[in-house]
A and B are shown apart, each in its own frame.
Chain A
Amino acid sequence: MGGYILRRLIAAVPVLLGITVIVFLVMSLIPGDPATAILGAYATPENVEKLNRDLGLDRPMVERYVIWLGNMLQGDFGRSFSRNRPVIDEVAERFSATLVLAGTSFVLCAFFGIIAGVISAVRQYGFADRLITFAVLVGISVPPFFLGMIMILVFAVHLRWLPVSGMYAIYGGGDLADLLRHLVMPALALAAVAAGVVARLARSAMLEVLRQDHIRTARAKGLPERRVILGHALRSAMVSIIPVLGLQAGFVLSGAVYIETVFQWPGVGRMLVDAILTRDLMLVQGGVVLVAAAYVLFNIAVDVAQALLDPRIKT
């Protein structure tokens, strides 16, 4: 298993490098440059040229990439001109915020998605099944940002149960309870779509598994039904659920872009959008590398989990 993880990690390196190349290429294809972004209406060619020189952007693309890569390998991710600070500081701060949000959402989507799917499968065609199926359809057809805004209106503006936005209360607060109060709405809004997808999948996987012979065996042994469903059927169903959970991580990260905007969550998703819009190449690079690395690690973790769960998979 250790060797397997190592092999996967090594295989991830070219992927990450490739991503940085893609980012460099795409960013160079986008019209507009950082100087224009900074100067706005004052972006005369003369001013732009001067500023580009100051920012070190007047060198050829390839040279800049090589310099960047060399620095990055030494742990220097460069300086973000749009945030006016080292990229690593900004990204690290923002990334931990996203991790809290996306991590919670991911757990929520996995937890509720699987529970809903299991209930739905066990009560197939029953009331609970129909209710869940409907809720899931609503969940997957409402854009996350829209759901988020509705939640703000209902729970923060009208009912005043929860704070509208931010990660901590702006005055006082800062403890765990404060964080959790701020986390509830964005995490749920972000989890909704993914939970819907997971629930749909969990339902069909459970239905599939419940028809298998080993479930009959478990029942013939006289196991309690709860144990048959949660122990035997769900365990088998997880084999097909887990890869989809891996995919959901990508969806959750993407959804975070919207949710972080709506809830003013100080996360990396919104930061990357802003960085792209301001053509802050260094920040985009730094953020993307970190996000991609996290994604790759997560996927390795998913595959490892899969291998641990299913002894038939060779690692």
Chain B
Amino acid sequence: MSFRHPTRRGFLASGMSSLAALAVTGSVPGRAQAATPPGVLVVGQIAEPKALDPAAVTAVNDFRILVNLYEGLTRYRPGTLEVAPGLASDWTISDDGTVYTFTLRENVRFHDGTPFDAEAVKFNFDRMLDETHPYHDTGPFPLAFFFGSVARIEALDPHSVRFTLKEPYAPFLSNLAYPTGLLVSPQAVRQHGHEFGRNPVGTGPFRFVEWRSNEAVVIERNPDYWGEKAATEAVIFRPITDANTRVAEMLAGGIDLMVEVPPASLAQFRDGRFSIVEQAGPHLWFLILNCKEGPFADKRVRQAANYAINKEAIANDVLEGTATVAAGPIPPAFNWAHDDTLEPYPYDPERARALIEEAGAVGARLVFYVTEGGSGMLDPLPMGTAIQADLEAVGFDVEIRTFEWNTFLAQVNPGLAGKADMAEMAWMTNDPDTLPYLALRTEAWPDTGGFNSGYYSNPTVDALLEQARTSTDQAERAQLYREMQAIVHDDAPWVFVANWKQNAVTSDRVKNFRLEPSFLLHLASVVKD
């Protein structure tokens, strides 16, 4: 099948004549665009991918394409965030937790026909981690630090590979399942160099066909796939930046599947022609409170903020039920590590007022950093506005300052000291370790290179997190995380607001579609009539 339009550039010049435009379109009365044929799934994406090189990208939006083209050594078991075998059929971990030996699946080939073997694995990680590697310059590889603990990779034989870590690092297997750990064809990297990102070659159930800049990325079924073959002939990913336009395309039948449906538009799709799919994910939307100075230096005021904000209203009304109320720093999607007994702070303005009075913070003025939008930030402006109204209702004087996402990060990441009392933030992670380790430890204060922008510090929490990270026993880690959650819940360095339920809408022609808690979009089993 061909998706190419060899003559299109020629039309650009002739397209300039708008009079002709009117004449011709006038003579084509009322013809809607042709519906896409069965077996070709059109997915509405939120943006154009940056690249299709898994080591080079960071956006969930790009991951949604990548996981269909590539596979990693491990993957998440469908419907969970637990690690399962991927291209590695098995592995062993040394007792001290520093040596991982993987057995690779046999008879797997990349789309370009080259075999998948231990050397290919080594090539992938060396490319990312070794600055002297000949293809290191095909980067940059912004998330290489996911594997920063790797000291050495050795190909023991064609089908086994050994990773030696500098220190025990529990999230390692989970990070391998993350898109940064997806494996690319060394041959293709050598061939395309810098342009590999636009000529992706992996082992996955789909292979790359073409990328029409800012129009579509087309992938088709990989007939030589080692596992179960894809159920659709092809998938077309269309970037549609504007949420309203995406909704309109969905309603008009221009796309079969869209992700990240704006909450306010969900009602449009509740009429039987569409189905709405929801799935809670490892996401937390919270407010960083400045624990170092100002009113939030007092724990009672922080708790008061947690009581004062009507999180139910935010989750159900502002977000139209696309999120659940968050209880603590670890999202429930990490089911093994989440403390199910932890209850969210109830909405209790009276209690909040009492605490504020007790702390002598009545009428305190708060500067609140809000972003205009950003990865995982949901509807930050309306949410910020609602939060502002709630806090003012219990006697604070809240001044919102909004920033465009990038500027916002540049303001918040270096710390709130001297600037603000609170800031919005959201994280999507793949391991329960990531967020608390990077954003709650004393050593993660901004001046030492972490994301603890509110300067929370509790030695017990620090110790628990260090311990959980080096343990390779999941049960033990779970216990440590539960202890940590209870303490953090009470200390309230953040206002825990919401856990996002990612959503997607499909037309009634699409069957067998499900969302994963990992936010990844596996489409191999999806059928389109």
Contact = CB atoms under 8 A, between A and B. Distances in A.
Question: Is any CB of A less than 8 Å from a CB of B in the complex?
Answer: yes
Interface of A: 30-33, 35-47, 51, 54-55, 79, 81-85, 90, 93-94, 96-97, 99-100, 103-105, 107-108, 111, 149, 152-153, 156-157, 159-177, 179-181, 183-184, 187, 261-264, 266, 270-271, 277-279
Interface in B6-38: 7-9, 11-12, 14-22, 24-25, 28, 30-34, 36-37
A254 B261 CA distance: 28
A37 B40 contact: no
B264 interface: no
Interface stretch (B48-56, B87-95, B393-401): B48-56
A271 B50 CA distance: 12
Contacts of A107: 16-19
A167 to B, nearest CB: 6
Contacts, number: 215
A172 B7 CA distance: 13
Contacts of A153: 248
B7 A177 contact: no
Interface of B: 3, 5, 7-9, 11-12, 14-22, 24-25, 28, 30-34, 36-37, 40, 42, 48, 50-51, 53, 56, 58-59, 139-140, 142-143, 145, 194-195, 197-198, 213-216, 236, 238-242, 244-245, 248-249, 251-252, 254, 374-376, 404-407, 409-411, 413, 425-427, 438, 446, 449-451
22 contacts: A32-B407, A32-B409, A36-B406, A37-B406, A40-B409, A41-B425, A46-B449, A103-B16, A104-B16, A149-B244, A152-B245, A164-B249, A165-B249, A167-B215, A168-B5, A171-B3, A173-B5, A176-B11, A176-B14, A181-B31, A184-B21, A266-B213
Contacts of B22: 184
A271 B251 CA distance: 26
Given A31-B407, A262-B244, 9 more contacts: A41-B427, A55-B140, A84-B56, A85-B198, A104-B16, A171-B236, A262-B242, A264-B242, A266-B215
Contacts of A46: 145, 449
Nearest to B409: A36
B265 to A, nearest CB: 12
A82 B214 CA distance: 13
Given A43-B409, A164-B252, A279-B406, A169 B34 contact: yes
B496 to A, nearest CB: 17
Nearest to B195: A85
B199 to A, nearest CB: 11
Nearest to B216: A170
A260 B213 CA distance: 14
Contacts of B140: 38, 51, 54-55, 81
Contacts of B142: 35, 38-39, 42, 47, 51
A277 B405 contact: yes
B180 to A, nearest CB: 11
B78 to A, nearest CB: 26
Nearest to A36: B409
B145 A171 contact: no
Given A96-B12, A104-B15, A174-B8, A161 B450 contact: no
A94 B48 CA distance: 13
B215 A32 contact: no
A160 B21 CA distance: 19
Nearest to B143: A42
Contacts of B5: 168, 173-175
Q: Which of A97, A100, A108 is most buried by chain B, counting CB atoms within 10 A of its CB?
A: A100
Contact of A108 (B11, B18, B216): B18
A230 B10 CA distance: 35
A245 to B, nearest CB: 15
B80 to A, nearest CB: 23
B450 A176 contact: no
A165 B28 contact: no
B239 A264 contact: yes
A104 B249 CA distance: 24
Nearest to A153: B248
A96 B9 CA distance: 9
B50 A83 contact: yes
Contacts of B48: 83
Nearest to A34: B406
Contact of B215 (A79, A166, A180): A166
Contact of B254 (A31, A33, A170, A270): A170
A170 B45 CA distance: 13
A172 B34 CA distance: 9
B241 A179 contact: no
Top-3 shortest CB links A-B? A174-B5, A266-B214, A54-B140
Nearest to A56: B140
Nearest to A183: B21
A55 B410 CA distance: 18
Nearest to B16: A103
Given A44-B451, A108-B18, A277-B405, A170 B8 contact: no
